[in-house]
């Protein structure tokens, strides 16, 4: 069975490929009620990990658990073994590698989907935030594989939502207006992408995003407003936040009050006050969209942007589409199933017979600080920027004669480059390789330090090779051409694997 799977911060949604249709898989909770998602929650019961609805119940009973693991994945330093703690701060806390935890969660998802669909083999196109670092891509793919899925491909989430929009709204797209902006406000992340859909082949022109903005921040604002209004016993922070999430999801366009139901009391907060407190969150998303929305605001008659497609569960909060419509007018559309659009788009990508396809771009750039003298002399080279197309693997190779006996390569990712090519936005280190261009040092295998570095005449020839695969994963290899010694790393692994 072919599927699209959207591993979300709060909800995991799976859509099936079924003869030209893309139905969303229904999961049963412990009361037998069906839902179009599996909660992205894990917990510990009697020493064993449980996931999804079972984990939600366990956490409600006070057992150690964890929500929103995906937020930890966005840490640029993340690797498969980065520790995460379930029940942090309690005496029953359990610490486990994030990759292992995710693989166990996805193993549960795999078993559930097999049970529901009766299919044995599950092949999936999986999603990842557009601005995800290489480490996040790597850990996500590995966890899906470990869980038993065959990974057909990885697509940026907004690109997937663009495919779903193209299928649903093809009539708003015409030969003149072929571009759409996907506004995706999920549980923990915000992504916006400009997608061009000419005919059935789409192309992501540009994406921007925030790793730290989503529906959970709206829960937190509500919890902060509720705390001073409590008159009875103060619930645990987790219980209060959960009650706030439920209250927030109950807000309708005509609601006057947000009602937070707690075991001992109901806290009432006027919607107008709550919305005012939330406005800065929505404005952050608008600000982050700046580079894309300038295209929309320029003379609407001549703009080739057909509209803004709003997806992600947090766009169900009435304030969000209202504010976006105030700013951008009538061309704002809400997806009929805001939590399912991404998974449906991923399923479209997984369907070998679908006429719709999409070409992605890197959406983050990466480059290398080449330090010939441990920081004394530094050159920065952009190896690929956010415009790089990802339809097929890209290889970049460079050769030069080294001027020192040791080279230090510090790899960084950055959000985007200025028109003149200078990296801008957050610059995050994600790997380092130290390469001795010296046979004796290569053979000794000892740890090198700055005192070992000195300039050399007639140094060894070096070759750097970078391969960027269509999922956006980067691998780097640096070879001493004189001796054949090489060091390589896949960005996201624990440490470079050194081969001789
Ligand atoms: N009716 C609703 N009103 C307001 N918010 C809602 C509603 N339904 C869901 N949400 C919020 O939407 C968020 C989840 O959205 P979604 O399922 O799109 O996120 P996700 O895909 O899990 O996360 P991400 O895309 O950030 O990884 C949660 O914060 C949830 O509270
Ligand atoms: Mg999402």
At 117, which CATH number?
3.30.420.40
Q: CA-to-CA distance for 10 and 30, rounded, in angstroms? A: 18
For residues 378 and 301, state if they share a domain. Answer: no
Residue 252 lies in a domain: no
With b for 16 or more beta-carbon neighbours within 10 A and e for fewer, the 447-472 pattern comes to: ebeeebbeeeeebbebebbbbbebbb
Q: Does the beta carbon of 12 sit less than 6 angstroms from any atom of ligand 1?
A: no
The CA distances from residue 369 to 189, 197, 455, 468, in Å, are: 29, 37, 18, 18
The CATH number linked to 415 is 2.60.34
Query: Residue whose CA is closest, atom 13 of ligand 1?
Result: 187
Q: Does the beta carbon of 217 sit less than 6 angstroms from any atom of ligand 1?
A: no
Residue 241 lies in a domain: no
Query: Residue whose CA is closest, atom 29 of ligand 1?
Result: 215
Residue 425 is predicted with a pLDDT of 63
Please say which residue of 314, 330, 359 terminates a domain. 359
Residue 22 lies in a domain: yes
Matching residue, tokens 């197309």: 389
For residues 373 and 352, state if they share a domain. Answer: no
Half-sphere exposure of 489 (CA within 13 A, CB side): 18
For residues 392 and 469, state if they share a domain. Answer: yes
Residue 393, SS3?
coil
Residue 224 is predicted with a pLDDT of 97
The answer to whether 383 touches 466, Cβ cutoff 8 Å, is yes
Please say which residue of 359, 379, 412 terminates a domain. 359
CA of residue 348 to ligand 1 center, whole Å: 22
For residues 490 and 351, state if they share a domain. Answer: no
Among 140, 187, 210, 212, residue to substitute to test ligand 1 (most atoms within 8 Å of Cβ): 187
The answer to whether 281 touches 324, Cβ cutoff 8 Å, is no
Which tokens belong to 184?
Answer: 């995706």
For residues 421 and 353, state if they share a domain. Answer: no
The answer to whether 203 touches 358, Cβ cutoff 8 Å, is yes
CA of residue 106 to ligand 1 center, whole Å: 20
Question: Where do the H-state alpha helices sit in 289-340?
Answer: 290-297, 319-328
Which tokens belong to 261?
Answer: 């139901």
Nearest residue to 330 via CA among 308, 355, 346, 315:
308
Residue 243 lies in a domain: no
Which atom from ligand 1 is nearest to the alpha carbon of 157? 25
Q: Which residues of the chain have pLDDT under 50?
A: 492-500
The CA distances from residue 232 to 60, 223, 418, in Å, are: 19, 15, 54
Q: Does the beta carbon of 245 sit less than 6 angstroms from any atom of ligand 1?
A: yes
CA of residue 350 to ligand 2 center, whole Å: 18
Neighbouring residues of 303: CB distance < 8 A, sequence distance ≥ 6: 177, 295, 296
Q: Does the beta carbon of 39 sit less than 6 angstroms from any atom of ligand 1?
A: no
For residues 348 and 369, state if they share a domain. Answer: no
Q: Does the beta carbon of 371 sit less than 6 angstroms from any atom of ligand 1?
A: no
Total of domains in the chain: 2
Q: Does the beta carbon of 87 sit less than 6 angstroms from any atom of ligand 1?
A: no
CA of residue 240 to ligand 1 center, whole Å: 17
Neighbouring residues of 268: CB distance < 8 A, sequence distance ≥ 6: 257, 258, 259, 260
Residue 255 lies in a domain: no
Q: Does the beta carbon of 316 sit less than 6 angstroms from any atom of ligand 1?
A: yes
Residue 230 lies in a domain: no
For residues 380 and 329, state if they share a domain. Answer: no
- Using CB atoms within 10 A of its CB, is residue 425 exposed (0-12), middle (13-18) or buried (19+)? middle
Which tokens belong to 57?
Answer: 């119940």
Within 10 angstroms of residue 279's Cβ, the number of other Cβ atoms is 12
Q: Does the beta carbon of 215 sit less than 6 angstroms from any atom of ligand 1?
A: yes
Long-range Cβ contacts of 28-37 (<8 Å, 24+ apart): 28/53, 29/53, 29/56, 30/54, 30/57, 36/337, 36/339, 36/340, 37/8, 37/11, 37/12, 37/13, 37/339
Query: Residue whose CA is closest, atom 8 of ligand 1?
Result: 313
User: Which ligand neighbours the alpha carbon of 318 most closely?
Assistant: 1
Residue 9 lies in a domain: yes
* Strands (DSSP E) found in 157-280: 179-185, 190-198, 201-210, 257-261, 266-270
Residue 249 lies in a domain: no
User: Which ligand neighbours the alpha carbon of 345 most closely?
Assistant: 2
Q: Which residues surround ligand 2, an ion (CB under 5 A)?
A: 8, 186
State the residue range of the domain holding 383. Answer: 365-499
Which atom from ligand 1 is nearest to the alpha carbon of 214? 26
- Using CB atoms within 10 A of its CB, is residue 327 exposed (0-12), middle (13-18) or buried (19+)? middle
Residue 62 is predicted with a pLDDT of 87
Question: Where do the H-state alpha helices sit in 147-266?
Answer: 157-168, 215-226, 237-249
Residue 302 is predicted with a pLDDT of 56
Half-sphere exposure of 243 (CA within 13 A, CB side): 23
The answer to whether 265 touches 231, Cβ cutoff 8 Å, is yes
Residue 296 is predicted with a pLDDT of 61
Residue 468, SS3?
strand
Sign of CA dihedral 300, 357, 389, 365: positive
Q: Does the beta carbon of 107 sit less than 6 angstroms from any atom of ligand 1?
A: no
């Amino acid at each position: 069975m072919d599927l699209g799977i959207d591993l979300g911060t709060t909800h995991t949604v799976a859509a099936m490929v079924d003869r030209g249709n893309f139905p969303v898989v229904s999961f049963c909770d412990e009361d037998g009620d069906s839902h179009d998602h599996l909660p992205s929650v894990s917990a510990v019961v009697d020493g064993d990990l449980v996931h999804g609805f079972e984990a939600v119940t366990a956490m409600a009973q006070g057992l150690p658990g964890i929500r929103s693991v995906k937020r930890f994945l966005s840490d640029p330093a993340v690797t498969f073994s980065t520790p995460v703690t379930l029940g942090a701060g309690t005496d029953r806390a359990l610490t486990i590698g994030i990759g292992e935890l995710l693989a166990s969660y996805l193993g549960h998802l795999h078993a559930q989907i097999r049970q529901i669909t009766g299919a044995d083999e599950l092949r999936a196109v999986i999603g990842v935030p557009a601005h995800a670092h290489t480490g996040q891509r790597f850990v996500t793919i590995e966890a899906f594989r470990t869980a038993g899925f065959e990974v057909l491909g990885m697509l940026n989430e907004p690109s997937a939502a663009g495919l779903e929009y193209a299928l649903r709204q093809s009539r708003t797209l015409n030969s003149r207006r072929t571009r759409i902006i996907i506004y995706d406000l999920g549980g923990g992340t915000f992504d916006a992408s400009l997608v061009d859909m000419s005919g059935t082949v789409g192309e992501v022109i540009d994406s921007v995003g925030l790793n730290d903005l989503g529906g959970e921040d709206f829960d937190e604002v509500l919890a902060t407003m509720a705390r001073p209004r409590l008159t009875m016993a103060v619930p645990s922070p987790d219980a209060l936040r959960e009650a706030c999430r439920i209250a927030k999801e109950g807000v309708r366009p005509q609601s006057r009050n947000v009602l937070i139901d707690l075991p001992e009391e109901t806290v009432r907060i006027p919607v107008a006050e709550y919305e005012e407190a939330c406005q800065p969150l929505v404005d952050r998303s608008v600000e982050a969209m700046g580079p894309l929305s300038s295209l929309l605001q320029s003379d609407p008659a001549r703009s080739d942007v057909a509209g803004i497609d709003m997806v992600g569960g947090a766009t169900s909060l009435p304030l969000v589409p209202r504010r976006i419509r105030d700013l951008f007018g009538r061309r704002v559309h809400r997806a009929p199933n805001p939590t399912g659009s991404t998974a449906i788009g991923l399923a479209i990508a997984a369907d070998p017979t679908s006429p719709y396809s999409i070409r992605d771009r890197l959406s983050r750039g990466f480059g290398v600080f080449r330090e010939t003298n441990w920081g004394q002399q530094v050159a920065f080279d952009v190896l690929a920027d956010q415009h790089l197309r990802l339809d097929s693997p890209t290889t970049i190779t460079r050769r030069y004669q080294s001027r020192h006996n040791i080279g230090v390569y510090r790899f960084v990712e950055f959000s985007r480059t200025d028109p003149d090519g200078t990296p801008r936005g957050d610059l995050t280190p994600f790997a380092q390789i130290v390469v001795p261009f010296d046979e004796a040092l290569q053979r000794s295998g000892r740890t090198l330090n700055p005192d070992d570095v000195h300039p050399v005449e007639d140094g060894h020839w070096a070759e750097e090779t970078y391969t960027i695969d269509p999922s956006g994963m980067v691998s780097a290899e640096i070879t001493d051409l004189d001796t054949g010694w090489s060091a390589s790393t896949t960005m996201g692994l624990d440490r470079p694997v050194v081969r001789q």
